[in-house]
Amino acid sequence: MKTLTLAVDPQKPDIERIRRAAALIRRGGLVAFPTETVYGLGANALNEKAILALFEAKKRPLDNPPITHICCRKDVHKLVQKIPSNADKIMRKFWPGPLTLVLERSEAVPAITVAGLSTIAIRMPKHNVALALIKESGCPIAAPSANLAGKPSPTSAAHVLQDLNGRINAVLDAGPTQIGLESTVLDLTVSPPEVLRPGGTPYEDLVKALGRVKLSPVVVASKTPMIGETRSPGMKHRHYAPNAPMTLVEGKAEDIVRKVSELALSQKKEGKKVAVLATDETISRYQADVVKSMGTRRDLSNIAQNLFKALREIDLENVDAILAEGVPSKGLWLAVINRLRKASGYRIVKT
């Protein structure tokens, strides 16, 4: 299959191009599109065949359901059984935006779209291209991140094509995404509500809005979560993983630099080609074959934006080992450290 690239302006996308993409979705096709978090791979959420093709294109295990995207609040009604009282408030406050809500699903949703679960994950993205595509398609769009399963999520159309060129019908290219990490997944079917995946909406903001909010144990885990510990199916699969084994070093900033340097040196002595994933503040301190910065520690949003890109760039260097600097865990940092831990397969050294 030839993958069509449709370039569009992120603010004012050309409606003819959006309609071309929407026609593909309506015909059961697969279209990658930008959101404010990462690029998603979209298919009609109510079309079983299209969803099966979506899982196949991504090589995604069938037990890991995608998020269903809508373009206005009222569209949530036909997808869910009931809206809990706290959900209405949360939707008004955080949508459109990087927050996914898990709710009891309705019979209108095919089982494959939710991997056989009785719940559905829904969000309204804050991106004009995504919203226009959903509107013109006239259906809810199921969209996992547009990467091959296990790889870092794509933050540009080029990343999408690296993984999926020839496997999908089209990609809407509106340049790099703004946040760079996926949405926060909040389960509203339990009391208190529970964060199943940290992401673009900080935990602290949810606590402010809802009072009590639980952090799923897997969110804060610094070791591989046990099967059964997770209700977000995606959390148990290997994720965001670069090709080479990655070790994450956590602790105080100064100790991290020392430990990463020490590990880099000993791995180089073993004859390995070593990459260090550093920050602007520390990049000049390392001697390794490849040193990449995730961005400046003074601007967390910059690190979030660059993280997946840096992981993909390191992959292209064909290194044997990666050493990554740890970061704090407050606010949006929680999502960053969670992705780093998962990318390392929980190979973590504490200083």
Q: What is the DSSP letter of 11?
A: S
Nearer to ligand TXA, 185 or 294 (CB): 185
Q: Which residues of 28-66 are buried (b: 16+ CB within 10 A; e: fewer)?
A: bbbbbbbbbbbbbbbbbbbbeebbbbbbebbebeeebbb
Beta bridge partners of 122: 68, 101
Window contacting Mg ion (CB under 5 A); options: 4-12, 137-145, 257-265, 296-304:
137-145
State which of positions 184-203 bind ligand TXA (CB under 6 A). 185, 196-197
User: DSSP letter string over 40-105?
Assistant: EEEEETT-HHHHHHHHHHHT--TTSPPPEE-SSGGGGGGGBS---HHHHHHHHHH-SSSEEEEEEB
Nearer to ligand TXA, 13 or 249 (CB): 13
3-state helix, strand, coil in the chain (%, to 5): 35, 20, 45
Window contacting ligand TXA (CB under 6 A); options: 113-121, 160-168, 249-257, 293-301:
113-121
State which of positions 165-184 bind ligand TXA (CB under 6 A). 182-183
Window contacting ligand TXA (CB under 6 A); options: 10-18, 58-66, 261-269, 332-340:
58-66
Output the smallest distance, CB 145 to Mg ion, in A.
3
Window contacting ligand TXA (CB under 6 A); options: 205-213, 227-235, 314-322, 326-334:
227-235
Distance in angstroms (rounded) separating the CA atoms of residues 140 and 69: 6
**Residue 230 structure tokens:** 């997770």
Nearer to ligand TXA, 17 or 69 (CB): 69
Window contacting Mg ion (CB under 5 A); options: 44-52, 141-149, 265-273, 334-342:
141-149
Closest CA to 62 of 218, 196, 233: 233
Among 44, 100, 145, 247, binds Mg ion (CB under 5 A): 145
Residue nearest to Mg ion (CB): 145
Output the smallest distance, CB 40 to Mg ion, in A.
9
Nearer to ligand TXA, 239 or 297 (CB): 239
- Which element (helix H / strand E) includes 338? helix 333-343
Output the smallest distance, CB 257 to ligand TXA, in A.
32
Beta bridge partners of 140: none
Output the smallest distance, CB 293 to ligand TXA, in A.
24
Output the smallest distance, CB 57 to ligand TXA, in A.
13
Distance in angstroms (rounded) separating the CA atoms of residues 14 and 10: 9
End-to-end, the C-alpha distance of the chain in Å comes to 49
Nearer to Mg ion, 47 or 145 (CB): 145
Map residue 233 onto helix, strand or coil: helix
The answer to whether the CB of 318 falls within 8 A of the CB of 194 is no
- Residues at the interface with ligand TXA (CB under 6 A): 35, 37-38, 40, 64-67, 98, 100, 102, 114, 117, 119-121, 125, 143-145, 182-183, 185, 196-197, 231-235
- Residues at the interface with Mg ion (CB under 5 A): 145
